[in-house]
Chain A
Amino acid sequence: MAKVLIIGSGGAGLVSALSAHEAGSEVIVASKTLPTRSQTSMAQGGINAVLEGDDTVQNHIEDTLRSSAGLGEEKRITFMCENAPEAVRWCNRMGLPFSRDEAGEIARRRLGGASAPRACYAQDYTGLKLLHSLYDQCLKAGIAFHNERFLLNLIVDSESSRVLGATFLNIETGEVEEIRADAVIMASGGYGAIYGKHSTNAVQATGDGLAAAVRAGAKLADMEFVQFHPTALKNSSILIGESARGAGGYLVDAEGDRFTDELAPRDVVARAIHDEMAKSGAVYLDIRHLGEHFIDRELPQERKLAQIYEGIDPVQELIPIKPAAHYTMGGIEVDEKCMSSLSGLFAVGECANHKTHGANRLGGNSLLELVVYGRHAGLKATEFAANHPAPVAENPQFAKDANFVRGVMYFTNQIDFYQKQEMLANIFYNNVGLVRDDMGLKAVLGAIRQMQKELPFMGPRDKSKGCNTNLVEFIEFGNKIELAEIIVVSAISRVESRGAHYRIDAPSRNDTMFGAHTITWKEDGVLCADFMK
């Protein structure tokens, strides 16, 4: 039986697990958390699909293409949008409790950049309910979960560049383990946590899978494209979902006046807020006019979070907000079969770049992408695994990683990595954020390279073997630093503005020079970058 290893247990991981299982694979899901604790639980807005009425699949394709600002591939977007209705029906069949409209059909709301209401939702808990429905189905299917396994590296055969499995730190025991498989699906999520307290993301979104992939020789694409969500709570960067604006919420300045179209695509709204904050100092989200009844029914999370984190009640008060890093469009470059540039390594979800979001993702398209491409990846990985069983080959990766985990305890700890991590988050938000320029980016690059050199002078201060989260966080920091360099190098290379990447020193789009994907990879540890169609 073909064996498929899935790394990560969020929406993308669980969909591909179900799909690979259904296609006849033996499936193992290895993940650093319990599946229901994944970041998918945080998705609020919905999952896009054209179900009926005046809207058409063609509209969905065009909206997505337009928002992608030239970096979306029409063929793959078409595949995603055409498969969207069936994807939503599939979610419904496995129990996702969608909210309903007056006719009893799955309810839809309009999100920014969409020409019609097509985000199917379950209150403001769409991601949570999707993730839990998927988890329940995985238990029903008897999928094997290896939780609390922190990905260290992919195991790659050096001669054939074939991926043979991966090594993990068993967080509880502190031992290094290896899992071999005929195909590996990376579904490990994005890298938004690099922005630390300026990100809406869960703390685990440290890009471990992308970092392992690039170390193993895989290519990454468009890493400079990071979506900023327009409305995060000002002090905590906790997300106030787009549904609040979709339902009719206003963005207002310090005087209480509206200053922008609330339902423009996210990059446009986020920059409008950025500019307004620079001008008048504060921006608020106003949902008071929606009424308490409506807010409690449709936006219960938002109300609770605003009360806890800002100490205000949105029924009566304005919500102080700021834009925060929310979704990373860049990812492991994959082909139409979801396979990366390494044989046997597939990728899906936020860690992958399917070229469906391009330079700017539309709200409601990320859950859609992970369902459509998750099902596809599970199938394609199974086909690959069945046709190309992995050779049983000796490989030094396990020994190397076991040595690393032992050796890292002897790092000198003269420099506090938590402090550096905080600094990285701040300089990323300020210089690799909504508005960028050459000088600011190069300054960050210098700081990152310095941190890379200093890593051996950092390290975990906790020397315990079992359940050492200080060690896990240090390795995560290493992954962040690895990716940070790639993001900044990509952002420096792209001397134009497009979608989420806005260069104040090159404010217009330049298709002749940069109408292509930023491809990055490592050769013998050296970072290489190129633009490729």
Chain B
Amino acid sequence: MEIKVLRSANNDIQTYNVELENATLLAMLNFIKTKIDPTLTYSHGCRSGVCGSCAVSVNGREALMCEYKPSDGDVVEPIRNARVVRDLVVDSGHVERYNRAGSAWSEGAREENVSAEEMERIEVQSDCILCASCYSACPVYAVNPDFIGPFALTRVWRYVNDPREGNCDAKMAVVQTNGIWDCTLCGACVPVCPQSIAPMQDIKMLRMKSAMLGYPDPTMNFGGGGFDLGGWNF
């Protein structure tokens, strides 16, 4: 089977021939690194889909190498929107940067009993492994590098929606700028999530919550303010 990998040294595709049965892409790259080409560089860790190290782009679509079964001719590239350090390794500074920007943390959870159903509200969002596949798929970064973005906004919603959390007004204030309104709701982040999280949905939920708190929706264009009797202008 041919596996094509984008190499950073010459910014060119290198083709490797590997015959391994029923192997994941990660197992193939491990084989290449240890038996064929030790210069091939990539990140990996748990090999079981929980550490979030091995997200790459395969034929233009994000995947975890440890969960992806390759096909002949697959083209493997680093994830997008991140500085390439070498081959498939990217600078992972985005994880800290955007989670900080979104204040994506607990402000202190209450201790009293909570029903199982209530806790299930944040079950999927707290499955996030920070692999940044959603971040890679997001087109907004092409125009706004300060966008808090899908993984961090999902994380904000995970805390805002946590039945144990207290007042979350400060978090809601933070995501008004470079946050929920900068999303185009294109949905590119949804199918690429290996944990079946839908950041776009979480962003929509944050928008509803914002509306309930009285924040204006800047994406609604009322024709420059004042009365425009010509009708709605979307």
- Interface residue ranges, A against B (CB under 8 Å): 33-34, 36-39, 41-42, 89, 92-95, 97-105, 107, 122-123, 125, 128-129, 132-133, 136-137, 139-140, 145, 147, 172, 202-204, 236, 238-239, 301, 304-305, 308-309, 311, 418, 422, 460-462, 464, 466-470
Chain B residues positioned under 8 Å from A147 (CB to CB) = 92
29 contacts between A and B (CB under 8 A): A34-B130, A36-B130, A37-B46, A41-B46, A41-B51, A41-B52, A92-B109, A92-B111, A92-B164, A95-B165, A97-B123, A97-B162, A102-B116, A104-B113, A104-B116, A128-B129, A136-B159, A139-B100, A140-B105, A202-B46, A203-B44, A236-B47, A238-B48, A301-B48, A308-B24, A308-B69, A462-B39, A468-B41, A469-B42
CB-nearest residue of chain A to B91: A172
* Residue B205, interface by CB 8 Å: no
Chain A nearest CB: distance from B20 CB in Å?
12
Chain B residues within an 8 Å CB radius of A172: 85, 91
Residues of B within 8 A of A422 (CB): 34
B contacts with A, residue count (CB < 8 A):
56
B50 at the interface (CB under 8 A from A): yes
- How far apart sit A373 and B34, CA to CA, in the bound complex (Å)? 38
16 other contacts beyond A95-B164, A132-B128, A236-B47, with CB at 8 A cut-off? A36-B51, A39-B45, A41-B46, A41-B51, A95-B162, A100-B114, A100-B116, A128-B127, A136-B99, A136-B106, A136-B155, A202-B51, A304-B49, A305-B48, A308-B67, A309-B24
Which residue of A has the minimal Cβ distance to B66? A308
Chain B, 22-56, contact with A by CB distance < 8 Å: what is the 0/1 string? Answer: 10100000000111001101111111111111000
Scan residues 44-99 of chain B and give those whose CB is less than 8 A from a CB of chain A: 44-53, 67, 69, 85-86, 89, 91-92, 95-96, 99
- Alpha-carbon distance between A204 and B92 when the two chains are bound, in angstroms: 17
A-chain residues with CB within 8 Å of residue B111 when the two chains form the complex: 89, 92-93
B91 proximity list for chain A (CB < 8 A): 172
Instruction: A461 to B113: give the CA distance in the assembly, Å.
Output: 57
Q: Inter-chain contact count A-B, CB under 8 Å?
A: 155
**Bound complex: CA of A301 vs CA of B194, how far in Å?**
12
**Which residue in B41, B67, B119 is a CB contact (below 8 Å) of A97?**
B119
* B-chain residues with CB within 8 Å of residue A37 when the two chains form the complex: 43, 45-46, 51-53
CB distance from A31 to the nearest CB of B (A): 12
**Is the CB–CB distance between B99 and A125 below 8 Å?**
no
CA distance A102 to B67 in the complex (A): 34
Interchain CB contact under 8 A, A469 and B67: no
Contacts of B164 in A (CB 8 A): 92, 95
Contact flag A34-B92 (CB < 8 Å), given A132-B128, A140-B103, A467-B41: yes
Instruction: Confirm or deny: B140 has a beta carbon within 8 angstroms of a beta carbon on chain A.
Output: no
Whether A132 lies near B47 (C-beta < 8 A) is: no
Q: Which residue of B lies closest to A43 (CB)?
A: B50
Pair A97/B122 contact, Cβ less than 8 Å: yes
Pair A418/B34 contact, Cβ less than 8 Å = yes
For residue A129, which residues in chain B have a CB less than 8 angstroms away from its CB?
126
Say whether B159 contacts A95, CB under 8 Å.
Answer: yes
List the B side residues contacting A305 at CB < 8 Å: 48-49
**Nearest A residue to B104, CB-CB:** A136
A33 touches B53 (CB 8 A): yes
B115 within 8 Å of A by Cβ? yes
Contact assessment for A101 and B116 in the assembled complex, using a CB-CB cutoff below 8 Å: yes
